[in-house]
Structure 1
Amino acid sequence: MEKTVNRELITVNGYRKIRDYHMASDNPDTVSSQVCEILPEKFDMEPFTMVIFGGSGDLSRRKLLPTLYHLCHDRNLPDDFAVISVASSERSDEEYREIVREAIEEFGEESVSRECWEKFRKNLFYISGRFDDENTYRSLSLRLEEVTKPTEKGAREIIYYMALPPRFLPDIFERLSFCNLCRGMFNTRIIVEKPFGRDRASAAGLNNLIAKSFNENQIYRIDHYLGKETVQNILFFRFANSIFEPLWNRRYIDHVQITVAEDIGIEHRAAFYEHAGVVRDIVQNHMMQLLALVAMEPPIGFEADYIRDEKVKVFRTIRSMDEEYIDKFTVRGQYDAGRINGKEVIGYRNEKDTAPDSNTPTFFAGKVYIDNWRWAGVPFYLRTGKRLKKRLTEISIHFRQP
């Protein structure tokens, strides 16, 4: 007696589970199911303080602060937490709290609850100062001693979040270390957002510099794009699906298209974007992560290190690109004035704080090959840009015609 297996991914009480349905071929009415749980790592949330360098910037306003409020709203934060923003603009705690409320109202997923906001706002603090000024870090040290509550074991947990361009990081790392804010009286971790440096040399330099101040187990280099649920589900869609996984290779797939399109411009990010451009802002992090998730081999487990190891194997097999390849198979562009969704919009060179003769790219398209057994000869087409027709993130798998 043969059995056919259908597999689906389900979510129960926040846990992802794979369910296999076994059906006997000689009796279609006989179905059995088996559930395999994929459990997340468990942790207990203890008192902590998050220090956000660049706490009034675009990333903080759009992502970090609304997310922290959302966690507070869902009662996933401890009672004793604190958020300290460090930025160059002069403002008081109360003025900063008003900025945070506006950000939550504009970019948050739910309306602001008065009760939750009162609980959240009292834990928000602000320190103004230059990142290269030691007095900024002395003020930070005093504020940390004032607001940070110890855990049950007496430790004071501090998370430094670098929500700013990489050019500021060397000054911050050096002064945190000089003021003894990396180890010592605090149990610290540091989160560094993309892009990590400007090129390979600067990334290696940053690695060496941060290693002087923090141990490797204190350092978290992250891409916030990977926190999206749909991105995380790519793995489960692939490896929990008995229909697609056997077809996920060069024999059946003709090509793959990955699109990350935005209808907005650079908004208030000219200071960052003029130095970064679309390749450093989107391609070498967000899009390469999507590429790796689509192309990687099955990991031996769903722990972070196992997934990272398989991604690295993909990156190592991407075909090298010399100048001739880049000229032939990639395109860069920059948005000009026009109409988006019925509204007149200005061109990139007319944005505030951009150079009038700037050649910073805001659009990229390219063809990539992965030279391994699974994907040999299959082109991956990448495209991304700002001021496009609509906002869209899409991975399109095109199968060969039979």
Structure 2
Amino acid sequence: MSPAKQASGGWTNPLRDPQDRRLPRIAGPCGMVLFGVTGDLSRKKVMPAIYDLANRGLLPPGFSLVGFARRDWADQDFAQIVHDAVKANARTEFREEVWEQLSEGLRFVPGNFDDDEAFDTLRRTVEELDQQRGTDGNHAFYLAIPPAFFGDVVGQLREHGLADSGTDAWRRVVVEKPFGHDLESAQALNQVLDDVFPPGSIFRIDHYLGKETVQNILAMRFANTLFEPIWNANYVDHVQITMAEDVGIGGRAGYYDGIGAARDVIQNHLLQLLALVAMEEPTAFDAEALRIEKQKVLSSVVLPSRLDLATARGQYAPGWSGGVQVPGFLDEEGIDPHSTTESYAAVKLNIENRRWAGVPFYLRTGKRLGRRVTEVAIVFKRAPHLPFSPLSTEELTSNALVIRVQPDEGMTLRFGSKVPGTQMEIRDVNMDFAYGGSFTETSPEAYERLILDMLLGDPPLFPRHQEVELSWRILDPVLDFWARQDEEGRTPPEPYPSGSWGPASADEMLARDGRAWRRP
């Protein structure tokens, strides 16, 4: 093995210090097999990300991409699909010389997931690429398919020797959320994967963990002395974590009905954000240290005893969104008119540890809300004493630090300041940090970062099965509570007008605690 080749699959310059961050890490010889090439995820995210990585010089010259699907395509047909996806969705400019090099490694294998002959062909294709493209036996299998088919595919990979890496090579599997639909199914899914691949070779993608602003939570907390002394129950009143979308379900009725907002977003994205915000400082910025601290936090999360007072759910009703009149959830094509699937979900959580005892975390997500925004708001306690007249501070609210994950990536610090004039009048002002205004580099797409990390074998941003199961342990009681309400015909999902900020029950949930949701 070349001294420049790392065990993880990346390449470094043997003449430079490995800690030198001026040069990027580049994936070593490798290829990827993509299942589900006809889906939106592959066309809009995975294929463009691969091109963008190649365009940035972060993939090896011999990188190969094999598509597998139930289509009667030749290699050139698949190449055209990738070409169109890249032209439509790539972040970086299209360069013909980059495309020509990438397209030389494109192959297509037609077949079904239960087709032994097709997987034999896939094995031969992979072996040929090792010889022709120098991929050295290093291959990742990206399952951009429904979880119901994971068992079929990984079973075929094992049966046909595709999961066996040999001594000096690696084989990895990549799976997308949802990681099950409850704790029991998540455990079954984890067992299916663990039976074929070792834990270090299983990469569960949560694309939110690849966003620059999510990673900046760790940088902001642990690279500065400014925040950590007040990052606790002595100073923090509560935390709000919001993922709001201004769109409806679109053409995803087949996936969304029966899944709902809580399973789709809270179980993964929002609980991962909670873990990053609430975790203790890790001993190092590596996969194991981060995982230990996140698991500690998730293990400490408890639900309030009265779920009827600590949860809310709703369905968007007809209304106006973005200046356009839109249908309600139950009027969307493909949705059962009697569906009880929620398009909005909110939950109050407590963290029973010394740092956060008594500080509620409010999580909410929904479709057809006022605007598209994802943010984490740390709202601080009011000053214990204000030596001003009540009229001077009647427009003063609580200090807050708001981490904007999307779309306007950055942070805002809200605090009180005197209004110019002869009177002592104090109002809220904002101090703002925006990625676009502070850095010349553009942020890569989350999938670029995550796919490259996977090819490098660098797993800090990928949740392990323990985190997935802990998240389901938190959410399952809420889902069971809602299911019992549906069976008993009590408290169905509450309608809320499209373009609003959700059902009244969600506002009442915070009002009972003397608080209110932010209106981003």
Map 1:2-401; keep pairs closer than 5 Å: 44-149=26-131, 155-183=136-164, 187-320=170-303, 325-401=306-382
How far has the Cα of 1:167 moved from its partner? 1.1
How far has the Cα of 1:159 moved from its partner? 0.3
Q: Distance in 1 between matches of 2:105 and 2:265?
A: 33
How far has the Cα of 1:198 moved from its partner? 1.9
Q: Distance in 1 between matches of 2:379 and 2:95?
A: 45
Moved more, 120-129 or 301-310: 120-129
Q: Distance in 1 between matches of 2:180 and 2:261?
A: 15
Partner of 1:14: none
1:231-269 Cα shifts (integer Å, max 9, x gaps): 111001011121111000011011111111122233343
Q: Distance in 2 between matches of 1:183 and 1:81?
A: 20
Q: Distance in 2 between matches of 1:336 and 1:127?
A: 44
State the AA in 1 paired with 2:118: T
Question: Closer, same or farther in 2 for the Cα pair 1:107/1:132, shift >3 Å?
Answer: same
* 1:81–1:148 CA contact under 8 A, matched in 2: no
* 1:82–1:148 CA contact under 8 A, matched in 2: no
State the AA in 2 paired with 1:52: L
How far has the Cα of 1:352 moved from its partner? 4.2
Q: Distance in 1 between matches of 2:80 and 2:249?
A: 24
Moved more, 267-276 or 378-387: 267-276
Normalising to structure 1: TM-score of the pair? Answer: 0.83
Q: Distance in 2 between matches of 1:205 and 1:224?
A: 23
SS in 2 for 1:221: strand
Select the structure that is richer in strand.
1
How far has the Cα of 1:137 moved from its partner? 1.4
How far has the Cα of 1:169 moved from its partner? 0.7
Normalising to structure 2: TM-score of the pair? Answer: 0.65
* 1:105–1:112 CA contact under 8 A, matched in 2: yes
Q: Distance in 2 between matches of 1:38 and 1:242?
A: 25
Question: Closer, same or farther in 2 for the Cα pair 1:60/1:212, shift >3 Å?
Answer: same
Question: Closer, same or farther in 2 for the Cα pair 1:345/1:146, shift >3 Å?
Answer: farther
Partner of 2:399: none
Partner of 2:396: none
Partner of 1:19: none
How far has the Cα of 1:335 moved from its partner? 2.6
Moved more, 391-400 or 381-390: 381-390
Q: Distance in 1 between matches of 2:225 and 2:97?
A: 47
How far has the Cα of 1:392 moved from its partner? 0.6
Q: Distance in 2 between matches of 1:38 and 1:243?
A: 27
Q: Distance in 2 between matches of 1:88 and 1:351?
A: 29
SS in 2 for 1:83: strand
How far has the Cα of 1:292 moved from its partner? 0.5
How far has the Cα of 1:194 moved from its partner? 2.0
1:285-314 Cα shifts (integer Å, max 9, x gaps): 110110011000100110011011100011
Q: Distance in 2 between matches of 1:46 and 1:307?
A: 25
How far has the Cα of 1:70 moved from its partner? 0.7
Considering only aligned residues, what root-mean-square deviation do their CA atoms show, in Å?
A: 2.5
1:24-52 Cα shifts (integer Å, max 9, x gaps): xxxxxxxxxxxxx8969985522211111
State the AA in 1 paired with 2:280: E
Q: Distance in 1 between matches of 2:55 and 2:146?
A: 30
Moved more, 363-372 or 216-225: 216-225
* 1:338–1:345 CA contact under 8 A, matched in 2: yes
State the AA in 1 paired with 2:82: V
* 1:301–1:307 CA contact under 8 A, matched in 2: yes
Partner of 1:3: none
Question: Closer, same or farther in 2 for the Cα pair 1:218/1:119, shift >3 Å?
Answer: same
Question: Closer, same or farther in 2 for the Cα pair 1:361/1:104, shift >3 Å?
Answer: farther
* 1:299–1:310 CA contact under 8 A, matched in 2: yes
Q: How many residues are aligned here?
A: 363
State the AA in 1 paired with 2:91: E
Question: Closer, same or farther in 2 for the Cα pair 1:87/1:386, shift >3 Å?
Answer: farther
